[in-house]
Amino acid sequence: MSTSNKVEGTAEARAGANFALIKYWGKADARLNVPAVGSISITLDALWSETKVVLDPKLTADEFSLNGRTRSEEQGKVSACLDLLRARAKVKTRARITSRNNFPTGAGLASSASGFAALVTAGAGALGLDLSPRESSIAARQGSGSAARSVFGGFVEMHAGTAPDGLDSFAEPLLDAAAWPLEVVIAVTATGEKEVGSSSGMTRSAKSSPYYPAWVENQPADLATARAAIEARDFAALADIAEHNCLKMHAAAIAAQPPLVYWNGATVECLHAVRKLRAAGVPVFFTIDAGPQVKAVCTPGARSQVEAALRSVPGVLELLTSRLGPGAELF
Ligand code: DP6
């Protein structure tokens, strides 16, 4: 089949952000963006990216805008991800890509996860490709590792994989959102974009943190513990392993040179507030990504207590709440 540059097509998709309970931190292959460790996450329904891909034979280069603003800094990654799909469709046509997030971008709220999952879904739709969810996950991973998980809803596991071509490095659903309807209260403690992005934070940790090898070595055991807790809907067990894994990731990052301290004072106060609530019998635990926001995962019945506790922490600017949600979808 010859390669065409005359194809026109349009598609729009929505994907939810996801938060990892067992974290991805470190790469085995930077070129293919294969993670060094597996991870387990929850996909959210209230925080999402919507992305529209319009193939236009008149364009000589892709055009990418996010929240109404041209983003040249992300253009290369977006084009590279679409190139994977174009190669598969044997099409060269460039595209106009417009994306929007309904939540703060780049502040540790998983905007690249929902963004690339929506991009791959819309891109495949515009190109007329019928990708399996696994193929979408593999393509999304090459845009951003965590995006491989936002292809699916509910509880999701990402396999690091070992194949040199990265074809066994994809996410799979573990449990539907409705099967264990947990909720998340997000304490926003800063609104700017983070200083050191995840990719460079991971590279720095791998290069210079003495704790990085231990982090990687321990991950299979944490994944097994979390998987079993999710299967058994054992909140206490999931709470313990998720907080432990999150703090280990941050310990490895803090021990890098120069150090990666993603937290501010309010982050630490929120962490204590959540632990205090749990000690008092409220089913809630925290997780924190490469930014200062605290995500408190709780049962639906505990949500109002969690909101009240986090709202009263000095330095908390805003609370966002979400249920678990579906995977990426065309609309
Ligand atoms: C701390 O998926 O943003 O949120 O693959 O380099 O784009 P790249 O990294 P990214 O890293 C996410 C890191 C994390 C933990 C997680 O989501 O598992």
Q: Indicate the residue among 176, 193, 208 that finishes a domain.
A: 176
Task: Pick the last residue of a domain from 176, 204, 238.
Answer: 176
- The CA 140 to ligand 1 mean position distance, Å, reads 12
Assess whether 102 and 208 both reside in one domain: no
Write down the residue that tokens 């929506």 correspond to.
118
Q: Is the pLDDT of residue 147 over 80?
A: yes
Q: Which atom of ligand 1 is least distant from the CA of 202?
A: 6
- Provide the β-strand partners of residue 35: 27
Q: Cα of 56 to ligand 1 centre, how many Å?
A: 31
Of the candidate ranges 8-12, 122-126, 140-144, 307-311, the one whose mean pLDDT is the lowest: 8-12
pLDDT band for 192, please (50, 70, 90 cuts). confident
| Å from CA of 4 to ligand 1 middle | 35
Q: Which atom of ligand 1 is nearest to the CA of 22?
A: 18
Task: Domain count for the chain, please give it.
Answer: 2
Flag whether 3 is in a domain: no
What pLDDT shows up at residue 191? 84
Q: Are residues 194 and 270 part of one domain?
A: yes
Residue 297 in domain? yes
* Rounded Cα distance, 100 and 120, in Å: 15
Residue 8: band (very low, low, confident or very high) from pLDDT cuts 50, 70, 90: confident
From 49, 81, 149, 198, mutation site for ligand 1 pocket: most ligand atoms within 8 A of C-beta = 198
Domain contains 328: no
Site residues for ligand 1, CB cut-off 6 Å: 20, 23-25, 33, 39, 112, 144-146, 198-199, 289-290
Q: What angle do CA 255, 261, 262 make, to 5 degrees?
A: 135
When the pLDDT of each residue in the chain is averaged and rounded to a whole number, the result is 95
Quickly count: other Cβ atoms within 10 Å of residue 137's Cβ: 27
Ligand 1 atom 3: residue of nearest CA: 198
- Shortest-distance Cα residue to atom 1 of ligand 1: 289
> Do 45 and 144 share a structural domain?
yes
Can you tell me the distance from the alpha carbon of 303 to that of 37, in angstroms, rounded to the nearest whole number? 31
- pLDDT tens digits, one per residue of 213-260: 999 999 999 999 999 999 999 999 999 999 999 999 999 999 999 999
* Domain match, 22 and 152 both: yes
40 C-alpha to ligand 1 centroid (Å): 12
Closest CA to 5 of 73, 89, 64, 99: 89
Tell me: the pLDDT tens digits for 19-61? 999 999 999 999 999 999 999 999 999 999 999 999 999 999 9
Residue 275 belongs to what domain range? 183-323
Q: Are residues 92 and 32 in the same domain?
A: yes
- Asked, as a colleague might, if the bond just before 300 is cis with ω within 30 of 0, I would say no
* CA-249 nearest atom, ligand 1: 1
d(CA 205, CA 248): 12
The stretches of 46-163 forming alpha helices (DSSP H) are 72-89, 111-127, 133-143, 147-150
Q: Is the pLDDT of residue 102 over 80?
A: yes
Same domain, residue pair 160 and 189: no
Question: How would residue 107 be classed by pLDDT, with cut points 50, 70 and 90?
Answer: low
Ligand 1 pocket mutation, candidates 23, 24, 47, criterion most atoms within 8 A of CB: 24
pLDDT at residue 195, as a whole number:
78
Domain final residue pick, 176, 203, 230: 176
194 CA from centroid of ligand 1 (Å): 13
- pLDDT value at 142 more than 80: yes
- Give the CATH number of the domain where residue 228 resides: 3.30.70.890
1 domain-assigned: no
pLDDT category at 3 given cuts 50, 70, 90 is: low
Closest CA to 124 of 47, 32, 51: 51
Contact 107, 316 (CB under 8 A): no
Q: How far is the CA of 108 from the centre of ligand 1 (A)?
A: 9
Question: Is the whole-model pTM more than 0.85?
Answer: yes
pLDDT at 305 over 60: yes
Give the number of other CB atoms < 10 A from CB of residue 107: 20
Predicted pLDDT of residue 189: 95
Cα-atom radius of gyration of the chain, to the nearest Å? 19
Ligand 1 centroid to residue 25 C-alpha, Å: 7
Question: 287: CA distance to ligand 1 center in Å?
Answer: 13
